[in-house]
Amino acid sequence: MPKRSTAPDPDEPGDREDIKDTQDTKDTKDTEPEQQKAGPDAPDPEQDSPDSAGSGRTDPDEELDEEEPDPDQEDEEGLDGDSRHSGRRSGTAGAAAGGEPAWRAALRGSRFGQVAVLAVAAFAIAIAAWWAVGPQDAGQAAQAEGAAVTQVDVDGVQQAPMVGDTAPAFSGTDTSSQEVVLDPEAMDGRPVWLMFVATWCTGCRTEMPDVQEAAAAHGEEVRVIVVYVGEDASTVSAYSQRVGNDLTEVPDRSQAVSAAYGVMGVPSHFFIDSEGTVRQTSVGLLTPDQMAQALDGITRA
């Protein structure tokens, strides 16, 4: 007789339940070792799920949206910065393209560059004027300007004669021991150019060549008398020989003549016509044109 199999029939209901229980028991045994390996603190997969209720985690997509800058704004800022840099580069490139170095263009456009250009131009003009006038003439002009009038102290000084007044009369002795007289009542028909100077006066020495030239132009038509304020004959003679004066020179050691004409500064000029009347007075240096004009005024009176 054939043996009957003891294996359950899967087609029968009771057998199907036994098979299910057996499979669940096997799955439970297989899962327990994995939980024991993970430990008691292992997180529950269901709690870590992003869909679980009460989760405290932040959506990574939201964080990226908050921190990521606006690309349009960055593009605008980048364009502004690039425009400024490109403007400077284009200006430098334009200067270089025009044949002018970049450093020269920057210097010319700065305030310091403009001041430097003006200073150089002024210096060039001064040099040109110096060469046009001449070193010697320029030195004399500067010296004359700095010493146009030199103050002198005269004892008993009186009121200086004004234009239209009669010239005060005086007499003295020149460096050649000759008597010199100025008398409004006896002018001999010649006008007089009366000067008050000093040997130590820089301005007086500066204008003396012009005085001699103007006197020579009129010859004997005009008397030129030079009075030295407060100085003696020996001092005046030595000075006259050294500088080569060829005029009538009267030392006024006592300052009597200087006081009568109210002299307070040298050089001083009095232009007196042939009638003994003062026609023009001047204190300080005269130019050649001023000398010629004053002499014409007394010779044609």
Residue 209 CB neighbour total at 10 angstroms:
14
pLDDT of residue 110: 72
- pLDDT tens digit sequence for 7-46: 445 444 444 444 444 455 444 444 444 444 444 444 444 4
pLDDT > 70? residue 63: no
For the segment 87-118, what is each residue's pLDDT rounded down to a tens digit?
Answer: 445 444 444 445 667 766 676 667 666 666 77
Q: Residue 251, preceding bond cis, omega within 30 degrees?
A: no
pLDDT tens across 113-170, in order? Answer: 666 677 777 777 766 655 554 444 444 444 444 448 999 999 999 999 999 999 999 9
Predicted local confidence at residue 107, as pLDDT: 62
For the full predicted model, state whether its pTM sits above 0.85.
Answer: no
Residue 122's pLDDT is 73
Contact 213, 236 (CB under 8 A): no
| Rounded mean pLDDT, 63-72 | 49
Residue 178 confidence (pLDDT) above 80: yes
- According to the model, what pLDDT value does residue 119 have? 73
pLDDT of residue 214: 95
State the Cα–Cα distance between residues 67 and 82, nearest whole angstrom.
25
Structure tokens that stand for 48 in this block: 């870590």
Query: Please, what is the end-to-end C-alpha distance for the chain in angstroms?
Result: 189
Answer whether 150's CB lies under 8 Å from 203's CB. yes
